[in-house]
Structure 1
Amino acid sequence: MEFGAGLFCLQSTAMAPRHPTLPYRELMTDARLLEELGYRSMWLSEHHFFYDGYCPALLPVASAALSVTNRLRVGTGMMLLPLQDAERVAGTAADIASRSGGRLDVGVGLGYRDVEFDGKGVPPAQRVARHSAGVAALQRIAVPAGAAIWAGSATPKGVARAGARGHGVLLSGANPVSLVRELASAHRQGWEDAGRPGGVRPKVAALRNVWLTDDPTERAAALDWQRASYVLYAGLGWSVAQQGSTQAMDFRVDADAAVAQAVATTIVGPPGAVIEGLQEVAEAGVDDVVFRVIIEGAPSAAIRRVLTRLADEVIPALDTVVAA
């Protein structure tokens, strides 16, 4: 099992206002720190037309982070491909992948916010076709240059498509372990049913809400930060349909219930509790974990302290864990 950190969204929110250049400067510091601590990857996130400056252009940011590191992989989680020009994205990704020694992970998603499609002048009805064209362009241009393609989906059908294409999948941190297990299985089945393209099973990575602390007061604060970070999703209008025994999570219809469900996924406590929680995630079929610790209200110093402790006290205990 390998580990990363995210999601770096480069926001300046009402709860934690700051000059809009500061998160971009801090990203360089964080990229260097993650590499020094031995993390495999850092992941960025994209949205458009949101009040807090949520990062709208991931490839230039990924390029900057790659330029100050030598081993760290940088991923887009997720680039909203239907809103982009497919050939331009593929060409830029290929150039960045080539210059970085193949350290670019291009995570792509369909997008779901009407305001983003309206603002970009893209009819939502075209999103699937535009996404497919974008993936084809990335396969043709960026993959030969060393970029890896990842998909973002919250449905068995969507992750099965990614598996059938030989692409990895990055699952949401808000997904309970029951849904993670179902999605990981569907991804693997999609790959097998398609004849195992590429010969090596593509990875299932999962964002997980994690906070390592021995202090009950900090534990409560961390859950508050997680709660605040998911309140933002009410503004973004995110939702996940019911899957099997996992209930729907709709921030548009019942924000309080959705926030509570998302916060309940948090693995929080001392090293032993965190290790146990992550072992459960691995047993659900996850190959790589991305620690979702860049959360609303959490001070940068606290985030870096947790990342350091996770690297020193948790990751070594999980180095030999391999998803079933």
Structure 2
Amino acid sequence: MTALGAVFRPQLPPERLRDVVRAAEDAGLEELWLWEDCFFESGIAAAAAALAWTERLRVGVGLLPVPLRNVALTAMEAATLHRLFPDRVGLAVGHGVQDWMGQVGARVESPVTLLREYLAAMRALLRGERVTADGRYVKLAEVALDWPPATAPAVFAGAIGPRSLRLAGEAADGTMLVAGTSPDGVRKARRLIDEGRTAAGRTGHHQVVVYLHTATGPGADARLRAEMEVSDEDDIAELGVAGDAAAVAKAVQRLADAGADTVVLQPTGDEPDPEGFVRFVAREVRQLVP
């Protein structure tokens, strides 16, 4: 079955999170994803609050920008969440927006090298290993978590370009694809991910999560078009969907058929009813997606 989720956009103030989270929980939404975009809201702090306010909802952060975060800190935070809320946490790490990384003095010369070193160290720490690393960017000396998760959790990598997608297949447990990825883009991403997995000798299923630009209700088409124009995306038919539950479900199914395991519906930044949006996903779209 294709997993279905929705995004809480950080354009909303943090104090709106509780109402959206409770609406998602009450409606039976499977997954709610948060962002750590600069300079809106902390992904980890928001995730901890969302998880504490709920009993069943799975909460993800997609993604945590690795230039901004020491890998030991991210592993500590991830381990704490996984121990407090077993089987309800999803975390993705990635390059981050380079202009933002530059603003805080964290931009690196080789984002791919950093992500490779980071994934290796983070996954080892979450497996409970004692890690020493002397990489170009990641440097650890006999570091081990005192409270690693009982079972090593999946670590996802956010990826767009070919090198990053191959790296995700090689070094991550799953891949997160941005909104605006077409079904053909998902197929191409799967091929590149599989190239990385083959090169690394990895077997088993590799989870792919993809965001989908989504608008529903009054003015949906205009809101979606305006959002995608800001993002320099103009092929709404392939890269986003506006309409009722049936139209959204068809767009979700196209991504699932292309290889997505989880589709996360991303509302527009000016979505007028965030609580209603998560209810729409859980109650109307879910029943139409196998």
Whether the TM-score (by the shorter chain) exceeds 0.5 is: yes
Is contact 1:110-1:127 (8 Å) kept? yes
SS at match of 2:109: helix
1:222 equivalent to 2:220? Answer yes
User: What is residue 16 of structure 2 aligned with on the other side?
Assistant: 26
Is contact 1:97-1:142 (8 Å) kept? no
1:290 equivalent to 2:288? Answer no
Any unmatched runs of 5+ in structure 1? Answer: 13-22, 234-257, 320-324
User: What is residue 151 of structure 1 aligned with on the other side?
Assistant: 157
1:178 equivalent to 2:184? Answer yes
User: What is residue 127 of structure 1 aligned with on the other side?
Assistant: 111
Cα distance in 2 between the residues matched to 1:310 and 1:178: 24
Q: Structure 2: which amino acid aligns with 1:127?
A: P
Match of 1:315 among 262, 286, 290: 286
* CA displacement at 1:93 relative to structure 2: 1.4
Is contact 2:215-2:241 (8 Å) kept? yes
SS at match of 1:124: coil
User: What is residue 92 of structure 2 aligned with on the other side?
Assistant: 107
* CA displacement at 1:80 relative to structure 2: 0.5
SS at match of 2:234: helix
Cα distance in 1 between the residues matched to 2:196 and 2:184: 19
1:60 equivalent to 2:60? Answer no
Is contact 1:227-1:263 (8 Å) kept? no
Q: Structure 2: which amino acid aligns with 1:207?
A: Y
User: What is residue 247 of structure 1 aligned with on the other side?
Assistant: none
User: What is residue 266 of structure 1 aligned with on the other side?
Assistant: 240
User: What is residue 4 of structure 2 aligned with on the other side?
Assistant: 3
1:42 equivalent to 2:32? Answer yes
Cα distance in 1 between the residues matched to 2:96 and 2:281: 32
Q: 4+ residue stretches of structure 1 with deviation over 6 A?
A: none
The change in CA–CA distance for 1:273 and 1:92 in structure 2 (over 3 A counts) is: closer
Per-residue CA distance 1:118-165 (angstroms, 9 max, x = gap): 333234215344333332332122355154211111123322221222
The change in CA–CA distance for 1:202 and 1:278 in structure 2 (over 3 A counts) is: same
* CA displacement at 1:313 relative to structure 2: 2.9
* CA displacement at 1:189 relative to structure 2: 4.1
Paired residues, what number? 267
TM-score computed with the length of structure 2 as normaliser: 0.81
Q: Structure 1: which amino acid aligns with 2:16?
A: E
Q: Structure 1: which amino acid aligns with 2:179?
A: G
Cα distance in 2 between the residues matched to 1:38 and 1:277: 21
Cα distance in 2 between the residues matched to 1:128 and 1:162: 10
Cα distance in 2 between the residues matched to 1:77 and 1:100: 18
Cα distance in 1 between the residues matched to 2:196 and 2:26: 36
1:136 equivalent to 2:120? Answer yes
Any unmatched runs of 5+ in structure 2? Answer: 128-147
Per-residue CA distance 1:204-237 (angstroms, 9 max, x = gap): 1111122345xxxx2xx2233234444665xxxx
Q: Structure 1: which amino acid aligns with 2:111?
A: R
Is contact 1:204-1:286 (8 Å) kept? yes
Is contact 1:4-1:40 (8 Å) kept? yes
Question: 1:170-249, aligned counterparts within 5 Å?
Answer: 170-197=176-203, 200-213=204-217, 218=218, 221-230=219-228, 233=231
